Structure 1
Amino acid sequence: MDPRSGFCSTTQIYHSLRPNVLLPPQSASLSATDYVLSLLHQTCRSPETTVGLIDAVTRSRITFSEIELRVKTLADSLRTRIGLSKGDSAFILSPNSVHIPILYLSLFSIGVIVSPSNPTSSESEVSYQIKLSKPVIAFATSAAARKLPQLRHGTILLDSAEFDSLLTSQSGEFRDRVEVLQSDPAAILYSSGTTGRVKGVVLTHRNTVAIVAAANAVRPVRRSPPVTLCTVPYFHVYGFFYCVRAVAMGESLVWMERFDLRLMMRTIQEFRVTHVALAPPVAVAMVKDANVTKGYDLSSLEVVGCGGAPLPKAVIEKFRKWSPNVQVAQAYGLTESTGGVARTVGPKESQVLGATGRLMSNFQAKIVDPTTRIALHPLKTGELWVRGPCIMKGYLEDEAATAAALDSEGWLRTGDLCYFDHEGYLFYVDRIKELIKYKGYQVAPAELEHVLHSHSDVVDAAVIPYPDEEAGQVPMAFVVRRSGSTINESQITDFVAKQVAPFKKIRRVSFVNSLPKNATGKVLRKELIKLALSSASSKL
């Protein structure tokens, strides 16, 4: 194995350069909650006084000792008073709140499968997800509850006296622990559905244990615990991972119900936030509007972690100019891998422009030619395949999709075009399904989007394939102009043409007020394709 890249020329496999993490024996009875709380006792010196959860708006705080007590009390209440049992599924429809991490850990501990969803989903979307996960109970806010059907144990409102009672009323001695196997399902998370119908991704307790252990393996030694502001939703794998790992690693987690840029700045200043977890649109907003940070003391900020979608190079460069002492840490992950496959860790790694980091502990990877299925060497682009203890159990009630994604050796075919360099850094190129086929050439939309983002008059941009009788498909750009800008189509196309090969040129441009995106900032290109085609039809 090459010690610089982790690539083995014999097996054609890339190995993680991180320390290997020894996980609990697979046969051991261990829930994700058991592991999280045992790790908390190792990482947090004074759980009675160390604040674990902070509400950015109300400023209320809960210590780690209180978190642990509430987790055990709620778990006991859900078993004795509600009647939940191992193997049941619980649907959760709520924005971020102080209750969500506690609810997740309580449900894990009694073997109930957590199934969180976006509270802004439509009733038909919620109905489809419930059909998949078959929950016996739902937890929701009053605002979202109307979207839910009647379930066996009903819906418990998170903002109600009933839930407060479940959370705080002890029934005497706690009941015996539930025996949860690591192979048991812990969560059903829903794929983003950016290129097809949403699928239910089944993650096990083992998956959750492994991803937390991998994060703990690269945790730096600090004088004081980090304070992390999580601006991403807990129902997405990105936020799901953060709210579980924060408890395990004794980190103070500041949460926001709904994102607000100025509230974020005030929160960083007030709580001396050291780490921020955000999606690309937030990073773009921070560097596009210089006035938004004026008047705030952000000197505590050490790392801005960005995941969920690629962050354009131009934005990273502007971020560095805006705050040269803050590390921009990117990551690559999927719902199917329980989050981060690769991450940038530390100041040195964060300087590698465009990289999404190095493989996390216990992961292996291949870069495979999509056509020939031949494994490729460093600097060669192909489909990323990954393997390790964090890889999902499969797609819920979809054997065909599971077989298409997972092979018999445990490799997950990501559907993403990537490459590794000679230092073991992973670089994301684009989704294979989203490549534009222009006269036999393959054009990556993400590459053109990086170019567009570097223009001072472009606030946001996305590129899609547009059908063309002669070429097959041509690149079409949807552009959000800077306020007051009069830049036109020819100026956009000329700007891009000067920086790319002729076959990659933008052929059509549409100016829009905003781009459709999912909760973590991933552009919904299929919505833009529909818009482009409907606009073309209306002109005929």
Structure 2
Amino acid sequence: MSSVEIHNNVVYGPEEEPIPAHLSFGQFLFDKFKKGGNKTALICAETGASMTYKTILQNSVNLATSLQKLGLKKDDVVALSSENRFEFIVASLGVFFCGGVLTTLNVTYSPGEISHLLKITRPKFIFTSPITAQNVHDCSEEFNFIQKLIIFGEYDVVPAIFYNDLIKTHVDIDGFTLVDVFGAQDTAAIMCSSGTTGLPKGVMLTHVNFLTLAAHMKYYLETSRKQKKHDVEIGLSLIPWFHAYGFLTNFSVMALYMEVVFLVRFDEVQYLETIEKFKINMTTIVPPLAVFLAKSPLVLKYNLSSLNEVWCGAAPLSSDIQNAISQRTGIDFIKQGYGLTEVTMACCVDLTRRVGSCGTPAPGMRIKVIDIQSGEQLGVGKEGELWIKSPLRMKGYAQDEAASNALFDSEGYVQTGDIGYYDKDGYFYIVDRLKELIKYKGFQVAPAELEALLLEMTGIADCGVVGLPDEVAGELPLAFVVLQPGATLTSESITEYITSKVSPAKRLRGGVIFVDEIPKNPSGKILRRELIKLLPTNTISKL
């Protein structure tokens, strides 16, 4: 794109997109939903039920008023643990309207992970759906700062206030006033991101971060529409909304009055039927879903011709898979994006057609590539760590100032931990990760967390965890284990133990390999590259 420039080995995105002067993400969404009126906003693919912008806004205002009566004040944190459902959107808006801080919890988190996040986010209230209610209730018992549990649905799975009761009292929308915020500094949400130290970190994102991302999404879509001369009116949302990727893309497209059809879970037939039935124009995917589109014989039985915007993120997508999808389905081109929660997700999107590239920097963004050894700022075609400067930069990690400070350089660049390079036109290519995180189906898995759990097992002397490459999942967590003399542990007993301790993404699906020693450097750090050399080359996917 001609709007991208390179100066002194720094790649600059196009001019920054304007955002509303009031700098409130809640006010932005309130105004958009009010204008949306009786237009359909959300449709549940499973049930066919739908909600208009007007109904969502009314429920959100009713809820916000009830939350304030319960004692919710500006800057209070509210947690939300739920699968994709109508109440998720209303609860999020209600919290924003009160000037509260929203934090979302992955519904597959183990009790240990939930407790950790509750400890660092300190929510006053927790919204929960029935599928996570018991875990959330049990974990919340140990924290006296949690005052209320609010449950979706009609059954008292655990002692809690019913969400349905909180939205009953009708409040006049025209007479409702949102709590004022200082958007450049006030936190809108705390989204989860795994760090190399193990357990998830709480990434504090401001109202301005969210408003900027919404402006960028509008820019990407409008630019693409002009290039391709097509309309994008109906979107499919499958990525979980508790994930920053799903959360931000969903709210951003709703603000553009796109009708959003959502799925609660991935089912191959239902996914394809939904695209065909609703004539979906746009969807966001992750690499495992791209592999399904590229290889499953089922795909050829459905008409997917309505799709004209397919964006892939969360992990790099191979050019082979990219091309295969286009050839099999007729979908013109799968756009790759690159981002991280610490920079409010989208840093680059490929708006042209450069296979293998994740695109050019977002508006107002600067990216430089730094040599890992020398710290030198690198030029075209040279691989190094990507450093990013942008209005999308997070405020910091909740309860972890040291980790926040370590992430930023003196000029305000975020050190991403991702290895890549850019070409002469400013297009970026991600080739590796400096971070030791394993990417399983787009979820980040920290080896250090699994290693700590393994070392708790009687009979294990030492261990090292790496990612086993897998075409469908990206990587499968695999453990190299050194047994203590006389120990009789089996690979099955070890994998079963880990399965009992962690959420599904962190299971040792790659298996266990017994070794005599774990290679380490003089300071005791595991040399994972040496372990990777010991990985089997022919494996069966264990999804």
Deviations 1:113-135 (A, max 9, x none): 11101111111110010001000
Q: Following TM superposition, by how much is the alpha carbon of 1:312 offset from its aligned partner in structure 2, in angstroms?
A: 2.0
How far did residue 167 of structure 1 move? 2.6
Report the CA distance between 1:177 and its aligned residue. Answer: 2.4
| 1:110-259 map, 5 Å | 110-148=98-136, 149-150=140-141, 152-160=146-154, 162-171=162-171, 174-182=175-183, 183-193=185-195, 196-220=198-222, 221=225, 225-259=232-266
Q: Could you report, residue by residue, the CA deviation over 1:118-155 in whole angstroms, capped at 9, with x for unpaired residues?
A: 11111111001000100011001122111121464321
1:229-272 Cα offsets, whole Å, 9 max, x none, are 11111111100112210221111111111111211111111111
Q: Which of the numbers 299, 304, 308 marks the counterpart of 1:302?
A: 308
Q: Do the aligned residues in 1 keep the contact of 2:305 with 2:330 (CA within 8 Å)?
A: no
State the distance in 1 between where 2:416 and 2:3 align: 24
Measured at CA, do residues 295 and 108 of structure 1 come closer, stay the same or move farther in structure 2, by a change above 3 Å? same
Deviations 1:164-184 (A, max 9, x none): 232342145755321111010
Partner of 2:511: none
How do residues 287-326 of structure 1 correspond to structure 2 at under 5 angstroms? 287-290=294-297, 292-326=298-332
Post-superposition Cα deviations, 1:24-53, rounded to whole Å, max 9, x if no partner, equal 45xx4x321212344567xx7xx3342111
Q: Structure 1's 168 and 249: CA in aligned 2 closer, same or farther, altered over 3 A? A: farther
- Return the alpha-carbon distance in structure 2 between the equivalents of residues 461 and 21 of structure 1: 34
Per the TM alignment, residue 218 of structure 1 is displaced from its structure 2 partner at its CA by: 2.7
Match of 2:526 in 1: none
AA aligned opposite 1:180: V
- Where does residue 505 of structure 2 map in the other structure? none
1:328 aligns with 2:334: yes
Is the partner of 1:199 in helix, strand or coil? strand
Aligned pair in 2 of structure 1 residues 288, 192: CA closer, same or farther (>3 Å)?
A: farther
1:156 positional shift: 0.7
Q: 1:84 maps to what in 2?
A: 72
SS in 2 for 1:147: helix
Amino acid at match of 1:32: F
Q: 1:38-75: per-residue Cα shift (whole Å, max 9, x none)?
A: 4567xx7xx33421111010111112222222222221
Go from structure 1 to structure 2 and tell me whether the alpha carbon gap of 1:67 and 1:171 turns closer, same or farther (over 3 Å shift): closer
Of residues 120-129 and 218-227 in structure 1, the stretch that sits farther from structure 2 once superposed is: 218-227
Distance 2:430 2:2 in 1: 22
The alpha carbon displacement at 1:426 in A equals: 1.0
CA distance in 1, matches of 2:231, 2:71: 41
Cα drift, residue 194 of structure 1? 6.4
Give aligned pairs, total. Answer: 449
Residue identity opposite 2:256 in structure 1: M
- Residue 283 of structure 2: SS of its match in structure 1? strand
Distance 1:56 1:117 in 2: 23
Match of 1:274 in 2: 281
Cα offset, 1:391, TM superposition: 0.7
Counterpart CA distance in 2 for 1:188 and 1:277 is 22
Cα distance in 1 for residues equivalent to 2:86 and 2:11:
39
TM-score when normalising by structure 2: 0.76
- Structure 2's unaligned 5+ residue stretches are 156-161, 439-465, 482-529
Q: Deviations over 1:386-434 (max 9, x none)?
A: 1111110011111111111012322100011111111111110111134
Secondary structure at the aligned position of 1:170 is classed as coil
Distance change >3 Å, CA 3–CA 289, structure 1 → 2: closer
Distance in 1 of aligned mates of 2:29 and 2:264: 24
Q: Contact between 2:287 and 2:473, CA under 8 Å: does it hold in 1?
A: no
> Aligned letter for 1:74?
L
Give distance in 2, aligned partners of 1:138 and 1:435.
29
Instruction: Tell me, in whole angstroms, the C-alpha distance in 2 between the residues paired with 1:289 and 1:32.
Output: 40
State how far apart, in whole Å, the 2-side matches of 1:401 and 1:298 are.
45
Contact 1:101 1:243 in 2 (8 A): no
Give the C-alpha shift of residue 193 in structure 1. Answer: 4.2
Aligned partner of 1:8 in structure 2 is 7
Identify which of 72, 89, 107 aligns with 1:101. Answer: 89
The answer to whether the aligner puts 1:22 opposite 2:22 as a matched pair is no
**In 2, Cα distance between equivalents of 1:267 and 1:463:** 29
Q: Distance in 1 between matches of 2:424 and 2:98?
A: 45
* Residue 366 (1) aligns with residue 368 (2): yes
Structure 1 pair 145–504 and aligned structure 2 pair: CA distance change class (3 A): closer
* Aligned-pair CA distance for 1:95: 0.9
Q: Deviations over 1:300-339 (max 9, x none)?
A: 1112211111112221121122123332011000010111
Q: 2:419 aligns with which of 404, 417, 420?
A: 417
How far is 1:464 from its partner?
Answer: 8.7
Q: Is the 1:6–1:424 contact (alpha carbons within 8 Å) kept by the matching residues of 2?
A: yes
2:346 matched to which residue of 1? 340
TM-score (norm 1): 0.77
Q: Secondary structure at the match of 2:200?
A: coil
SS of match in other structure, 1:509:
coil
The C-alpha deviation readout for 1:450-501, integer Å capped at 9, x for no partner, is xx85xxxxx5664899999xxxxxxxxxxxxxxxxxxxxxxxxxxxxxxxxx
% identical aligned pairs: 29
Q: Contact conserved, 1:32 with 1:105, CA < 8 A, in 2?
A: no
Instruction: Give me the whole-angstrom Cα distance separating, in 1, the residues matched to 2:361 and 2:265.
Output: 31
The answer to whether the 8 A contact 1:37-1:247 is kept is no
* Alignment CA distance shift 1:133-1:364 (3 Å): same
Change (3 A) 1:314 1:93: same
Report the AA paired with residue 190 of structure 2: I
Contact 1:77 1:170 (C-alpha < 8 Å) held by counterparts: no
Does 168-177 or 380-389 show the bigger shift? 168-177
Give the conservation status (yes or no) of the 8 Å contact 1:214–1:362: no
Q: Shift in Å at residue 515 of structure 1?
A: 5.2
Q: Report if the CA contact (8 A) 2:11-2:368 is conserved.
A: yes
Gaps of 5+ in 1: 437-444, 454-458, 469-502, 517-540
Say which SS state the counterpart of residue 332 (structure 1) adopts: strand
Match of 2:536 in 1: 509
> Structure 2 residue aligned with 1:51, among 9, 18, 40?
40
The Cα shift of 1:357 comes to 1.2
Tell me: CA distance 1:176–1:460, structure 2 relative to 1, closer, same or farther (3 Å).
Answer: closer
Distance 1:423 1:59, change over 3 A: same
Alignment match of 1:376 (pick from 363, 375, 378): 378
In structure 2, relative to structure 1, the CA distance for the partners of 1:78 and 1:462 (3 Å cut) is: closer
- Equivalent position amino acid for 2:54 in 1: S
Query: Which of 374, 394, 397 is 2:396 aligned to?
Result: 394
State the Cα RMSD in Å. Answer: 2.9
Q: Which amino acid aligns with 2:18?
A: L
